[in-house]
Amino acid sequence: MIPGAPPIRYRGYVTTPLQFTQAFWNNPHPVYAQLREESPVRPVTLPNGMEIWLVTRYADCRAALADPRLSKRQGAGDNARSLAQPVRSPLTRHLLANDPPDHTRLRRLVSREFTARRVEALRPRVGELSAALIASLRERGASADLVEDYAVHLPIQVICELLGVPIEDQADFRRWTSVMVSASASAGGAGVPEAAAAFVGYLLGLIGRKRAAPAGDLLSALIATRDEGDRLDEDELTSMAFLLLLAGHETTVNLIGSGMYTLLTRPDVRRSLEADPALVPAAVEEFLRLESPVETATSRTATEPVTYGGVTIPAGAMVAISLLAADRDPERFPEPDAFDLGRPDNQHLAFGYGIHYCLGAPLARLEAQIAFTDLLAAFPGMALAVPADRVDWRPGTLIRGPVALPVTL
């Protein structure tokens, strides 16, 4: 049992409340280890009040991610229920809020843009963007916040260029998406309806401008798809733009942040990569496995009773799949807490599994590999400017990564 937490009764099950304090966000691993060991499939109450079944063992998580009896449709976005209909529809008709056959149709429309080959062609441009960010870090002088001054910018610039979203607008949509992804950390999802309404207004304006003056970007291509046939309706178009913009920049920032945290606190790992940069891709997989930037997959709803590890989740219940807990399961990964550059068969779940497997995985890997290679090469003397235990991690069960990473360069 978690120390100090009295058992509570929840619909007939004895459950221990997870204590969502900053100490938990900073190091949730011991709590997840205990859950995996003692009650790997159990109901919990999230900080936003949502009651949900939490799955923590690798085998169960992988089975749940691929289970067609767990629907994305009824979950329709964890914060979506607080939204008024005119805002809700244009934000909740995307890939992560759909089951087949709609999911299959929507995914086919965008998947060709994100194949490993298409993404590899972006390497020179991502390299240029990274080099410019490194140059501006140098101009800053002796110190910087690696999250705010580098990690945030690379993914956001890449996804904006890909979609054709003006980079000058980033302050606005970063504010809105940050409220929306942090909603799992607070009671009632404070600020979500306002942020969502502002985002929808922005997207509708942008789509209108692109429709009037199409360019060679992904958003213009999706608008043409919409306007030429019946394969994408207006809400699906807005929702797709919303999901790509959100997923394109709220995730990779945390991979770069948590990976740099590891490198700055583990001189042995850093020395290995400095000695042999060809190890960077293997390091990225370990960063993903150890500090899954998407801590918990987006919620699903059981359409019928489902049983994992001998525990039955009733029909109608919401299900949360802990990618962070799964990827440190000793049943799947020997010495799961160790950083191992030679780990064989590193099939972690950080990008999910099954039909909703991350569309942007090749892009995220490319951005991260370039980021770590460039940062290590540019700043061999870089060090954390605060003690490691003073680095706070983002609150909330959806996204995991350091809030800020103050360094001396």
Binding site residues, ligand HEM, CB under 6 A: 65, 95-96, 107, 114, 243-244, 247-248, 251-252, 255, 293-294, 297-298, 323, 350-352, 356, 358-360, 363-364
Cβ neighbours of 92 (radius 10 Å): 24
Q: Nearest distance from residue 96's CB to ligand HEM, in Å?
A: 4
171, amino acid identity: A
Alpha carbon distance 77, 239 (integer Å): 11
144, amino acid identity: A
> DSSP labels for 292-351?
-SB-BPPPEEESS-EEETTEEEPTT-EEEEBHHHHTT-TTTSSSTTS--TT-SS----TT
Alpha carbon distance 294, 32 (integer Å): 15
Contact by Cβ (8 Å): 326, 62: yes
Q: Nearest distance from residue 403's CB to ligand HEM, in Å?
A: 17
297 vs 384 by CB, closer to ligand HEM: 297
Alpha carbon distance 129, 132 (integer Å): 5
Q: Nearest distance from residue 3's CB to ligand HEM, in Å?
A: 30
Residue nearest to ligand HEM (CB): 360
Q: Nearest distance from residue 97's CB to ligand HEM, in Å?
A: 9
87 vs 96 by CB, closer to ligand HEM: 96
Alpha carbon distance 89, 83 (integer Å): 9
Q: Nearest distance from residue 312's CB to ligand HEM, in Å?
A: 22
Alpha carbon distance 326, 362 (integer Å): 21
287 vs 409 by CB, closer to ligand HEM: 287
88 vs 356 by CB, closer to ligand HEM: 356
Q: Nearest distance from residue 199's CB to ligand HEM, in Å?
A: 16
Alpha carbon distance 262, 283 (integer Å): 10
190 vs 217 by CB, closer to ligand HEM: 217
Q: Nearest distance from residue 245's CB to ligand HEM, in Å?
A: 9
Q: Nearest distance from residue 64's CB to ligand HEM, in Å?
A: 10
Token digits of residue 145:
């916040």
95 vs 232 by CB, closer to ligand HEM: 95
Phi then psi for residue 112, to 5 deg, are -65, -25
99, with CB counted inside 10 A (0-12, 13-18, 19+), is middle
Strand, helix or coil for residue 14: strand
Token digits of residue 366:
């490319």
41 vs 321 by CB, closer to ligand HEM: 321
Angle at 219 between CA 215 and CA 223, to 5 degrees: 90
Token digits of residue 394:
């983002």
Q: Nearest distance from residue 409's CB to ligand HEM, in Å?
A: 24
255 vs 283 by CB, closer to ligand HEM: 255
47 vs 155 by CB, closer to ligand HEM: 155
> DSSP labels for 157-175?
HHHHHHHT--GGGHHHHHH
